Amino acid sequence: MREARKGMLLVISGPSGAGKGTLYNRVLSADGSMTFSVSYTTRAPRPGEVEGRDYCFVTEEQFLEMLGKDGFLEHADVHGHMYGTPRQPVLDALEKGRSVMLDIDPQGALQVMEKMPGCVSVFILPPSFGELRRRLEGRGTETREEIERRLHNARGEVALKDRYQYLVVNDDLEVAYQTLQGIVNAEKQRSCRYFPVVEE
Amino acid sequence: MREARKGMLLVISGPSGAGKGTLYNRVLSADGSMTFSVSYTTRAPRPGEVEGRDYCFVTEEQFLEMLGKDGFLEHADVHGHMYGTPRQPVLDALEKGRSVMLDIDPQGALQVMEKMPGCVSVFILPPSFGELRRRLEGRGTETREEIERRLHNARGEVALKDRYQYLVVNDDLEVAYQTLQGIVNAEKQRSCRYFPVVEE
């Protein structure tokens, strides 16, 4: 069977604490054809975060310079910090037939959906706001004030869930992973990305 | 977790001998919320086919009377016989939140995609035209002339494959089944059909 495939641009979003990172890291581990797009941010690294793997940590001045050169596919101000997806690496990877995964906040996700209408968008939901609070508190990386701000924002983000193509509730991690992986696998069968040749 | 779901209209098509029937019967067995839409046809029953399960077998006069009353969601003339999907049972099932599966030829599939833009369309491909011939010959239910006509039509049908949203190659039956079931499962997570409620 001869066949060819084009890569997809996969946009994953959801409130802080919904468990996006754990989910998409499993998808990335399982799929060698998918690249993670590392965002730029002006916020400080959290304990354990690695420059160039989790984020490219830059100053506000550096961020604004890149923004001035139209260097971002999307950018947003979240919780008082700037975040952006560098444009060129994403376009280069797609051009080569690779898939690209973006982990971005809803502001950025809506920008990407508009600019890249062929993208696949998935919103990860927590089972409840109470559980979201427990996860954020358990993480122990944010101050009480930051947690309250994230919980407040989560309500606004969840209200926009229907702007995304797919919804996944992360209640049981294994079920949520299988569901997300299933969406990625199904999207690979789209006739706009999959080109099988029926031979003689 | 409170959630609600809407049913989907699933259109399956593909050349005779591609193995659609075997595939979708497994999906139907596995999914209690999905109903098979039984088509009307003016062709004679094949050995083993059951009235009301495989088709509603009617005379050309009966078919035309129903057509005159706008009783079909789609209808087509295939290999000299009339086929049609009765409109009301499909709309009734969807109204009740059930999913409905249609097994229809490409002429009919294109009509349904236009009339029901929210439908999910899947085209089943054989791995090669040689294999398609072997399967049709192995079935032993068509004359040599009918087989040649089906093979000729298959080329025209395969040329229209990109009108469908998803493509599945039925080379290995188990792989093809998992792929089709995966598409159905992923489509259940669409925000237009899946309504989870994030509780407090």
As a whole number of angstroms, the distance between CA A125 and CA A23 comes to 12
CB contact under 8 A, B196 and A167: yes
Q: E strand or H helix at B196, and its extent?
A: strand B194-197
Question: In a mutagenesis test of the B interface, which of A110, A189, A194 is the best target, namely the one with the most B β-carbons within 10 Å?
Answer: A189
Instruction: Identify the band that residue B105 occupies on the pLDDT scale cut at 50, 70 and 90.
Output: confident
ipTM of the complex: 0.90
When pLDDT is averaged across residues B63-84 and rounded to a whole number, the result is 92
Say if strands B120-125 and B166-169 run parallel, antiparallel, or are unpaired.
parallel
As a whole number of angstroms, the distance between CA B196 and CA B200 comes to 13
Assigned domain for A48 exists: no
CB contact under 8 A, B166 and A130: no
Query: Exposed (0-12), middle (13-18) or buried (19+): which is B68, by Cβ within 10 Å?
Result: exposed
Assigned domain for A138 exists: yes
Distance between first and last Cα of chain B: 10
Assigned domain for A164 exists: yes
In this complex, the residue of B1, B128, B166 whose CB is nearest that of residue A190 is B166
Assigned domain for A53 exists: no
Structure tokens at A186: 């199904």
Residue ranges for chain A with pLDDT beneath 70: none
Assigned domain for A148 exists: yes
When pLDDT is averaged across residues B62-89 and rounded to a whole number, the result is 92
Instruction: Identify the band that residue B124 occupies on the pLDDT scale cut at 50, 70 and 90.
Output: very high
A187 touches B: beta carbon within 8 Å: yes
Q: Find the domain containing B183 and state its range.
A: 2-197
pLDDT at A39: 93
Q: pTM (2 decimals)?
A: 0.91
Assigned domain for A140 exists: yes
Assigned domain for A78 exists: no
Assigned domain for A44 exists: no
pLDDT at A106: 86
Residue B1 pLDDT > 80, yes or no? no
Domain count, chain A: 1
pLDDT at A105: 86
Say if strands A120-125 and A9-13 run parallel, antiparallel, or are unpaired.
parallel
For residue B115, give the CATH number of its domain: 3.40.50.300
A95 touches B: beta carbon within 8 Å: no
